[in-house]
């Protein structure tokens, strides 16, 4: 068939031509040896051609046609990801700004099948799999240092170190430690965010529904945490290294099914743990440098952060060039940034009332702003 052939639709008696969209799908778990495999060479890409007005449910059905063992799997247990953003089943292909999409340059997607090992691919019971795993998502940039840390956390979990759920917060934050109980990283599964299906603190709700703030739906905070780090060019504001990671462990909230609670793969934000003394709320604002406040302010304005309270600015104690004590600000918790609509108040942004915010930018800060490119950032 001619790949350039166009489908015709009609509206207001005028003929409208739409080109097909070409997709290349790979397994999101192809690099993970602990993930049980579908029948067939799942390491090879799958090519699918659809129309812009098709929904993502059509893509899932095409995937099931390629893998008959998936026919018993509900559509909601098949996740389609573009740059690790989940593509909603009932949305049209054209609702997303996909990169590529032509026959020469197909749009790159990942698919993830949740608990597909429960299906019997050959009329026999599937072999049991390990219930611990962790690997970096291949579609989102990740530093080599963080990749090494992800591997270390996985090995420590396999050695028996358990993730620990923090006491604070509305969503789930798990502390990952080594065998000597030193903190290494934090992991925030997107399905355990506030008003998400598996929230362990009682704030339950369906996926992609209104959450804590207008403009950020439930299960969408993890991707924003990663975006904040990627947009903090040169670690200008000191956002800790963050990546999108797939993980499973019995200590994470399980998925309830008719046959019992299931340990499943989860996608979430993985962030390097930063040793700090306290949070900004326990210090007088005057002890912070204008430079630190300006850098966080520049970041918050760029990402339209809806929640810069004084509890999500950590304090790291250091030394200035003169040898005096220096209190460095480390910004965290960026899940309520990059909203779809803007509803922010001065009370949401702690630094707005600080005296440093009224001081002019230094030349280094102006140079940084001058070099920013909104069009490049939009492609991250």
> Which of helix, strand or coil describes residue 362?
coil
Given a cut of 90, whether residue 65 has pLDDT beyond it is no
pLDDT of 29 reads 63
Spell out the long-range contacts of 206-213 with Cβ–Cβ below 8 A and sequence spacing 24 or more. 207/86, 208/86, 208/88, 212/170, 212/307, 212/336, 213/306, 213/307, 213/336, 213/339, 213/343
**CA dist., res. 40 & res. 58, Å (int):** 21
User: How many Å separate Cα 88 from the centre of its chain?
Assistant: 15
Phi–psi pair at 66, nearest 5 degrees: -75, -35
**CA dist., res. 109 & res. 274, Å (int):** 33
Average of per-residue pLDDT across 290-310: 97
Average of per-residue pLDDT across 333-361: 93
Residue found under tokens 């909601």: 76
Given a cut of 50, whether residue 314 has pLDDT beyond it is yes
Least reliable range by pLDDT among 216-225, 270-279, 318-327, 330-339: 318-327
Q: Tokens at residue 142, please?
A: 């990740």
Count CB-CB contacts under 10 A for residue 340: 9
> Which of helix, strand or coil describes residue 337?
coil
Max mean pLDDT among 88-97, 100-109, 227-236 falls in: 227-236
**CA dist., res. 113 & res. 105, Å (int):** 25
Handedness of CA 11, 107, 140, 237 (dihedral sign): negative
Selection from 152, 101, 115, 163 nearest residue 264 by Cα: 115
Residue found under tokens 């900004």: 280
Given a cut of 70, whether residue 73 has pLDDT beyond it is yes
Q: Which residue has the higher pLDDT, 13 or 68?
A: 68
pLDDT of 122 reads 40
Average predicted confidence (pLDDT) for the chain = 86
Average of per-residue pLDDT across 52-56: 92
pLDDT of 79 reads 85
Q: pLDDT, tens digit, for every residue of 146-186?
A: 999 999 999 899 888 999 999 988 999 999 999 889 999 99
Phi–psi pair at 19, nearest 5 degrees: -85, 150
Residues 6+ apart with CB under 8 A from 312: 279, 331, 332, 333
Q: Tokens at residue 18, please?
A: 């739409």
pLDDT of 115 reads 56
pLDDT of 17 reads 63
pTM: 0.72
Q: pLDDT, tens digit, for every residue of 251-299?
A: 999 998 888 899 999 999 999 999 998 999 999 999 999 999 999 999 9
Q: Which residue has the higher pLDDT, 69 or 91?
A: 91
Selection from 145, 149, 176, 184 nearest residue 160 by Cα: 176
Phi–psi pair at 41, nearest 5 degrees: -80, 80
Average of per-residue pLDDT across 335-349: 90
Average of per-residue pLDDT across 324-345: 92
pLDDT of 282 reads 94
pLDDT of 42 reads 45
């Amino acid at each position: 068939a001619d790949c350039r052939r166009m489908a015709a639709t009609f509206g207001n008696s005028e003929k409208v031509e739409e080109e097909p969209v070409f997709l290349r799908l790979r397994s999101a778990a192809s690099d993970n040896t602990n993930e049980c495999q579908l029948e067939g060479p799942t390491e090879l890409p799958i090519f699918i051609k659809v129309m812009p007005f098709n929904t993502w449910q059509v893509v899932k059905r095409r995937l099931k046609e390629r893998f008959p063992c998936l026919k018993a799997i509900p559509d909601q247990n098949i996740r389609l990801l573009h740059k690790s953003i989940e593509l909603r089943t009932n949305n049209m292909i054209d609702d997303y700004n996909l990169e590529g999409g032509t026959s020469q340059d197909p749009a790159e997607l990942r698919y993830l099948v949740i608990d597909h090992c429960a299906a019997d691919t050959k009329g026999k019971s599937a072999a049991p799999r390990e219930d611990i795993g962790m690997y970096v998502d291949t579609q989102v940039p990740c530093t080599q240092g963080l990749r090494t840390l992800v591997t270390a956390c996985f090995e420590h979990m396999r050695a028996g170190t358990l993730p620990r759920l923090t006491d604070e917060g509305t969503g789930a934050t798990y502390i990952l430690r080594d065998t000597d109980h030193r903190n290494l990283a934090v992991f925030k599964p997107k399905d355990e965010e506030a008003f998400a299906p598996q929230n362990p603190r009682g704030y339950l709700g369906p996926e992609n529904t209104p959450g804590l703030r207008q403009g950020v739906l439930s299960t969408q905070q993890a991707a924003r945490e990663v975006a904040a780090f990627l947009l903090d060019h040169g670690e200008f504001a000191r956002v800790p290294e963050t990546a999108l990671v797939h993980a499973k462990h019995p200590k994470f909230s399980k998925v309830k099914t008719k046959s019992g609670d299931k340990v499943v793969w989860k996608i979430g934000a993985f962030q390097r743990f930063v040793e700090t003394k306290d949070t900004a709320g326990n210090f007088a604002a005057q002890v912070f440098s204008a430079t630190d406040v300006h850098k966080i302010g520049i970041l918050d304005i760029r990402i339209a952060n809806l929640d810069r309270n004084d509890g999500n600015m950590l304090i790291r104690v250091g030394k200035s060039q003169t040898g005096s004590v220096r209190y460095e600000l480390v910004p965290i918790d960026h899940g309520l940034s990059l909203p779809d609509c803007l509803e922010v108040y001065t009370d949401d942004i702690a630094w707005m009332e600080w005296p440093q915010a009224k001081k002019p930018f230094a030349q280094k800060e102006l140079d940084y702003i001058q070099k920013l490119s909104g069009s490049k950032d939009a492609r991250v």
